[in-house]
Amino acid sequence: MGVCVSCRRRERKIPEKRSVPGVVGPAKGAAAELLPRPVNRFTAMANSMSNIKMTNPIKNMVSKRRIRYTKHGFNLDLAYITDRLIAMGFPAEKLEGVYRNHIDEVYRFLETMHKDHYKIYNLCSERTYDPSKFHKRVERYAFEDHTPPHMELIQPFCENVHSWLSADTRNVAVVHCKAGKGRTGTMVCCYLLYSGDQPNADEALKFYGRKRTLDEKGVTIPSQRRYVEYYGALLRSGVAYRAGAARVQVRELRMSPPPAAHVPAAAAPPDLVLCQADPHADPHSEHNVLVLKTPPGCVDVQRDENSIRICLTQCTPLFGDIRVDVYNKPKMKMRKEKLFHFWFNTFFVTAEVGAQRIPPLPDSPDLETYKLTLNKWQLDDAHKDKQHKHYSPDFKVELIVEKVPDSSTYRPACDRTRSPTSSSSSSGSVGSDPETDGNWDSGIQAYGTLEMYDHHHLWRSVILRAEPGRSLPLFGALFGREIIDVPPKE
């Protein structure tokens, strides 16, 4: 006869644990202090594995096409751009040190090769480490990954590096971000221009690409390259940069030819978001970003077979570093999708650096008007479309802005005469506010919502409103932690 199921289950039961004579429990009190402390096996493994050759294949894979330093027993994601200027990846700890530069190895390298004569420049806004690990010779000029530095950040960085290198001929500057390529390359190229090592932005970018990467593709993000060009133009002109010297209001964004038919923006109304960097941010801390949102109905979207035009019927004056985000808003999806974005600086647009002056618009004949033209390869995200699946090779964006006098206040742009094919859409707006018109007080014109972000986290939102005809303060009056909410007159 076979064995029943219940019997088989009893046979499979694990035998009960029995106490063994002579075995006592863990020590307590003073006796516990004499015993070795428990060790975190994962941390210990990471700290030891990062210093032996078995992790080198992992590090090589993570560093991709970046040049590595493999001399004198080291294997680091690190390259000498010049004899005294070093670019490297982030000095990581614990498990991250298995596939990135381990902070102990970086310390050993610097102490071996440049003892007492190195200073580190950390460009990461998302992470940091204890400066005492490098004798507190660490400076921080932080900005976001995949973005250009704010213009206020570049000159202090270059001056600090130059001061350090000039103090002793043996001194070296070590610059890093997370991967040690894009942000690092942007600031290193700016310093190469500042020091006169390279004659212009194009040569500086090419030189860095050869020294830092195997495929000579160093700084690849278009907006980062644009800011190197801006800084080169600033040095050539000899003019001091002033963020508030050029206030502009955006009037129109044109895309031509339209994106491919399968791209949602080809059918759905595009959404435009304007962001302004806080020029008063501390160079050694994270930067804030201000996002202006206008109420629905302030944007006129016009399209034909050759172009898509997003015309703003009102815009608060902006100055300094501006980010333009273009989204599509599919009707069947709750979340909008970004098409592309780009950064520009109003100081250089009005100085005709990468931009040109054009005849004024009919409704504002007294204002200087400029057009910033960017091709596909000058647009962040769109430049990745190398197979031209979404955008044609001759795709371009034209941004029309008007220079606002320094002493002026907000002036709404007049409504334009719409073409027969135009469509006014609340879904295509400058960061459309979801509130309905009923939420706005009767007789009060809402100029928009100002949102302030600190490292991607919204910490304040203020509705800007005033009576029709009453002026609204410029963005300059809204910076900092004290935000002005313009109330209606009693």
Can you tell me the distance from the alpha carbon of 451 to that of 189, in angstroms, rounded to the nearest whole number? 33
Can you tell me the distance from the alpha carbon of 315 to that of 57, in angstroms, rounded to the nearest whole number? 53
Residue 31 within a domain: no
Do 284 and 202 reside in the same domain of the chain?
no
Number of domains in the chain: 2
Please give the pLDDT value at position 420.
Answer: 36
Catalytic one of 124, 158, 177, 311: 177
* Token reading at 63: 């560093």
Residue 24 within a domain: no
CATH, residue 174? 3.90.190.10
Catalytic-residue membership of 315: no
Do 295 and 355 reside in the same domain of the chain?
yes
Do 228 and 283 reside in the same domain of the chain?
no
Please give the pLDDT value at position 31.
Answer: 53
| Contact in structure between 373 and 396 (CB atoms under 8 Å) | yes
**Minimal CA–CA distance to 123: which of 106, 107, 138, 104?**
138
**Minimal CA–CA distance to 451: which of 316, 275, 243?**
275
Please give the pLDDT value at position 284.
Answer: 59
**Minimal CA–CA distance to 327: which of 246, 431, 435, 454?**
431
Residue 52 pLDDT greater than 60, yes or no: no
Q: What angle do CA 447, 452, 458 make, to 5 degrees?
A: 120
Average pLDDT taken over every residue of the chain: 76
Please indicate whether residue 209 or residue 484 has the higher confidence score (pLDDT).
209
Give residue-wise pLDDT tens across range 417-470: 333 334 444 333 444 433 333 332 323 333 344 444 444 443 334 444 333 333
Give residue-wise pLDDT tens across range 303-335: 888 999 999 877 788 999 999 999 887 666 667
Residue 486 within a domain: no
**Minimal CA–CA distance to 310: which of 297, 296, 294, 299?**
299
CATH, residue 437? 2.60.40.1110
The last residue of one of the domains, among 187, 205, 237, is: 237
Can you tell me the distance from the alpha carbon of 471 to that of 411, in angstroms, rounded to the nearest whole number? 7
Can you tell me the distance from the alpha carbon of 72 to that of 86, in angstroms, rounded to the nearest whole number? 17
Q: How far is it between the farthest Cα atoms of the chain?
A: 106
Domain span holding position 191: 44-237
Please give the pLDDT value at position 259.
Answer: 86
**H or E segment to which residue 167 belongs:** helix 151-167
> Comparing 15-19, 270-274, 321-325, 388-392, which segment has the lowest mean pLDDT?
15-19
Please give the pLDDT value at position 332.
Answer: 62
Residue 424 within a domain: yes
Residue 10 within a domain: no
Do 288 and 170 reside in the same domain of the chain?
no
Do 315 and 278 reside in the same domain of the chain?
yes
Residue 134 within a domain: yes
Give residue-wise pLDDT tens across range 145-192: 999 999 999 999 999 999 999 999 999 999 999 999 999 999 999 999
Do 205 and 265 reside in the same domain of the chain?
no
Can you tell me the distance from the alpha carbon of 313 to that of 252, in angstroms, rounded to the nearest whole number? 9
408 — pLDDT class (breaks 50, 70, 90): very low
Do 303 and 331 reside in the same domain of the chain?
yes
- Tell me which residue has tokens 């096409």: 65
Can you tell me the distance from the alpha carbon of 341 to that of 354, in angstroms, rounded to the nearest whole number? 17
Do 165 and 288 reside in the same domain of the chain?
no
- Tell me which residue has tokens 């090589």: 60
Can you tell me the distance from the alpha carbon of 85 to that of 52, in angstroms, rounded to the nearest whole number? 27
Do 62 and 197 reside in the same domain of the chain?
yes
The last residue of one of the domains, among 204, 237, 270, is: 237
Do 209 and 275 reside in the same domain of the chain?
no
Do 325 and 340 reside in the same domain of the chain?
yes
Query: pTM, whole model, 2 decimals?
Result: 0.74
State CA 133 to chain mean position distance.
27
Instruction: Collect contacts of 165-172 with beta carbons under 8 A, ≥24 apart.
Output: 165/84, 168/117, 170/114, 170/117, 171/84, 171/117, 171/118, 171/119, 172/83, 172/84, 172/85, 172/86, 172/114, 172/117, 172/118, 172/119
The last residue of one of the domains, among 237, 265, 288, is: 237
Residue 6 within a domain: no
Residue 396 pLDDT greater than 80, yes or no: yes
Residue 266 within a domain: yes
Any bridge partners for residue 310, and if so which? 253, 301
| Contact in structure between 190 and 158 (CB atoms under 8 Å) | yes
Do 341 and 197 reside in the same domain of the chain?
no
